[in-house]
Amino acid sequence: MTDPKLRVLIPAGKIQARIRELGERISRDYPDGKLHLIGILKGAVFFMTDLARAMTIDVSMDFMGISTYGKGKTTSGEVRVTKDLDASLEGEDVLVVEDIVDSGITLNYLLHVLEQRRPRSIRIAALLDKPERRLRPVQVSYVGFQIPDEFVVGYGLDYSERYRNLDDICVLESEAAG
Ligand code: IMP
Ligand code: MG
């Protein structure tokens, strides 16, 4: 396979500026000054560490692994927890941090699972949102950017585990991939 083409959709500078805005807004929205972040492995790691540093409140962090039984560019619809949280959520203000909301299947499922653990509140922050692709409803409180229905990589997002370390978010253009 020849290397697919990458086209920059959101340059690094814009990503960082938007994350600073979100960090300030989230900090204002939690006047108690405390928030428990849950990052969804692995795509959200880059966003989560930058977002946490953009916040002025006291944050704790945990991570969860989710498998959606799908390789390549589509989700199959079956969701499974592959790595559970280390700590209890009881009484915590929780912010789930995700790289992208596509069909909504992953977050719709995850929210049901996490709500049963009796957090005080639970909200979602997603760097990217593809609203056209939604199959299940998900309320996302903090969105970095809405993007069109194109497959993107970089800044944590992968295609078969590649391209996560790009600074920019790029559209992956390739006839072979699909
Ligand atoms: P959903 O369950 O369909 O909302 O899928 C969300 C997950 O699918 C994300 O956490 C990503 O891992 C993956 N995903 C969806 N769209 C893209 C994309 O454009 N690039 C890379 N990964 C994507
Ligand atoms: Mg993911």
Ligand 1 site residues (CB inside 6 A) read: 43, 68, 75, 98-106, 151-153, 157
Kindly identify the ligand whose nearest atom is closest to the C-alpha of 75: 1
DSSP 3-state of 18:
helix
- Residue 28, Cβ neighbours under 10 Å: how many? 10
Closest atom of ligand 1 to 105 CA is 2
Q: Which residue has the higher pLDDT, 174 or 79?
A: 79
* Atom 16 of ligand 1, residue of closest alpha carbon: 102
Query: What one-character DSSP code corresponds to residue 131?
Result: G
Whether residue 102 lies in the annotated active site? yes
**pTM exceeding 0.75:** yes
**Which tens digits make up the pLDDT trace of 98-145?**
999 999 999 999 999 999 999 999 999 999 999 999 999 999 999 999
Span from the CA of 100 to the centroid of ligand 1 (angstroms): 6
> Position 91: which residue type?
G
As a whole number of angstroms, the distance between CA 164 and CA 152 comes to 10
What residues have a C-beta under 5 A from ligand 2, the ion?
Answer: 43
Per-residue burial over 120-156, b = 16 or more CB atoms within 10 Å of its CB, e = otherwise = eebbbbbbbbbeeeeeeebebebbbbebeeebbbbbb
Closest atom of ligand 1 to 159 CA is 21
Look up residue 54 and give its two tokens: 């953009």
Distance spanning both ends of the chain, measured CA to CA: 13
Closest atom of ligand 1 to 99 CA is 10
Does residue 175 carry a pLDDT above 90? no
**Which tens digits make up the pLDDT trace of 10-60?**
999 999 999 999 999 999 999 999 999 999 999 999 999 999 999 999 999
Set 50, 99, 102, 168: catalytic member: 102
* Atom 12 of ligand 1, residue of closest alpha carbon: 43
